[in-house]
Amino acid sequence: MRTQGPPYALASPQGQPIEALFKSKPEDFEVHEIPAYPPSGTGEHIYIHIEKRGIDTIEAIRRLSRALKLSPTRFGHAGMKDRHALSTQWLSIHSPLPSSALEKLALPGLRILEISRHRNKLRAGHLRANRFCIVLRKVAPSCFEPIRERLEWLKTQGLPAYFGEQRFGRAGDNATRAWEWLLGKGQAPSHSLEGRLWVSALQAEIFNALLDARIRAGEYGRIIEGDLVRKEDTGGLFIADGSLAMQERAARFELSPTGPIVGPRMLWPEGEARRREEAAIAQAGLHPELLSRLGRYGKGSRRPYRFPVRDTHISFDASNHLVTIHFTLPPGAYATELIRELTQGGARDASLLHQGAAPTNNQSND
């Protein structure tokens, strides 16, 4: 199903690629989770605020579960954080353990900053935003101004909501695996987590293709007739017309058009927007019976075609060829897509170069 095509389009003002390195060390890629709510201080779930360096969220949970002799299923998290980063986030643990059992824990790559309690388990998406501080190294001083200008442009127009490469699995073939399983030509997922990963890759591939087409047409922030749009202040969805009033609201970043995360329970747009989505889904070969089967691991939802970029600050160090960028993104946004836009795809992931792997510009930061 999957074909090798040109790179996804860039939305920011076009120019020459800017060479840079990111993730040269974990401290060059800081991610700080902003929770959706503070823990209440009481409840059956322990809430811990952790700092981790050089390990991802799943590995942090593994180390904690072994140290505390608890099943990993007792842990909850709001979002996944990169391995090659210095990050902070909240985890929940369903356990009657006293706080003292955690206060003295000393684990490699991980430390506990705060302990509290709350009534419910942390679930994916229970966060307000992620705050980033990213250092780009080996940047020519002549490139500082184009980077600054593109950051200002993204603040007003929004960051394209592409799914990053890791969404498709370590080998990049999860969408193909999902497709072969749906057609009965390949093996079924061995467990529910694998099924969700395969299906999410297939969903991401369809979404990315539709977003790419809108960017190439100059429409990723515009509203077309029948779009299912998202209110940026509340997250509410409604069908929009293509009127001037709607376009003005989109220009003020009050509204953003959304694309499909395909599944049997997905909400549909109307008019021209629906025709485009139906064509893309049909081209992918997902007729209603396959969509129903896919729904076992992905019910379907909507995703905005762009994300707001807020709280930005940028500084330059010409003598050391460094650019330091602070910004905040909502859940589900990929910080490395912002790096790709700022450098026009010229930045390389130094953590992968150290491993002898091919460089990539897309890691998960939701």
Active site residues: 82
Cα–Cα distance, 282 to 270 (Å, whole number) = 16
Whether the Cβ atoms of residue 289 and residue 241 lie closer than 8 Å to each other: no
3-state helix, strand, coil in the chain (%, to 5): 35, 25, 40
Pairing relationship of beta strands 347-349 and 20-22 according to DSSP bridges: parallel
CA dist list (Å): 89 to 94, 195, 349, 361: 17, 26, 23, 23
Tokens of 188: 């079924």
Whether the Cβ atoms of residue 362 and residue 337 lie closer than 8 Å to each other: yes
Cα–Cα distance, 37 to 31 (Å, whole number) = 18
Tokens of 22: 């990111």
Tokens of 67: 């140290």
353, 325, 360, 31: which is closest to 154 by C-alpha?
325
Coil/strand/helix, residue 175: helix
Residues near 239 by beta carbon (within 8 Å), at least 6 away in sequence: 226, 227, 228, 229, 269, 270
DSSP per residue over 198-256, as a string? HHHHHHHHHHHHHHHHHHHTT-SSS--TT-EEEETTT--EEE----HHHHHHHHTTSEE
Coil/strand/helix, residue 26: helix
